[in-house]
Structure 1
Amino acid sequence: MLNWIGIAAVNMAVAVGLGAFGAHGLKKVATAAQLDWWHTATLYLLVHALGLLAIGIMIRLQIATQTPAWLLQIGSLIFAGSLYAMALGAPRWLGAITPIGGTFMIIGWLWLAVSAFRYQG
């Protein structure tokens, strides 16, 4: 079983670091659209890392399975990763995969909701 709490903590550290880079380093050379993409990616990465932390705790308490954790992690990587890449100059067509990451995140949250409603503890 993966240590989802540790993975969440790494995601949060990465989000803070990338957020700082966007606010200080990227701000001088990026367009407004690139900065918006960077901000959105950082916000979603941080929020979903906090969600992953909660799910990691729920897994240890045997309230949830690893499935929503996997879905959030994969979704965060695809969603934020594609936005970060575009903000750094990758082709805009890469934005076509961003909604795939968002879909993974939505399914992860819904999976967690179903698990919570089924939990009898």
Structure 2
Amino acid sequence: MHKRRGWTLVALSGLVVVMAGAFGAHALGGTLSPTRLDAFDTGVRYQAWHTLAAMAVLIWRAQQPLKGQRAVLWLWSMGMAAFSGSLYLLALTGAHWLGPITPLGGLLLMAGWLTLAICAWRQRPAD
């Protein structure tokens, strides 16, 4: 992932986090059931944490490019889209057919963390 593209995607994800969080807090409180509102909040929370983590990987990658960092970023991007995106849509529409997409997104997020661990493990110690 090119530096400019990576930072642009992270910035847009952060924008979506703030917008979705505000929308959930101010517009959805009285309209959604507590279960659906909780699902929406879970999507916001997971997207926020993975956006921050992606920023850290981008900084690390700028300082020390290593094989695997790009894969981490792509896995998290796809995972956030599938996990948080399906929760947003599920909460807003009630379309239960989206339910199976959420765990697939979670698996992508976990795969990103595992890839990050492997990437970090393979990093050579500084002399």
Same fold (TM over 0.5): yes
Secondary structure of 1:28's aligned partner:
coil
The 2-side partners of 1:113 and 1:4 are apart by 20
> Structure 1 segments of 4 or more deviating over 2 A?
none
Q: RMSD of aligned C-alpha atoms? A: 1.3
User: 5+ unaligned residues in a row in structure 2: which ranges?
Assistant: none
Percent identical residues: 36
Q: How many residues align?
A: 121
Cα distance per residue 1:52-96 (max 9 Å; x no partner): 111111222214531000000100000000000011114112111
Identify which of 80, 92, 100 aligns with 1:76: 80
The 1-side partners of 2:101 and 2:9 are apart by 23
Secondary structure of 1:26's aligned partner:
coil
Identify which of 1, 15, 18 aligns with 2:17: 15
Identify which of 57, 67, 70 aligns with 1:66: 70
Q: Using the TM superposition, give the Cα deviation of residue 20 of structure 1 relative to its aligned residue in structure 2, in angstroms.
A: 0.5
Q: Using the TM superposition, give the Cα deviation of residue 5 of structure 1 relative to its aligned residue in structure 2, in angstroms.
A: 2.6
Partner of 1:26: 28
Partner of 2:112: 108
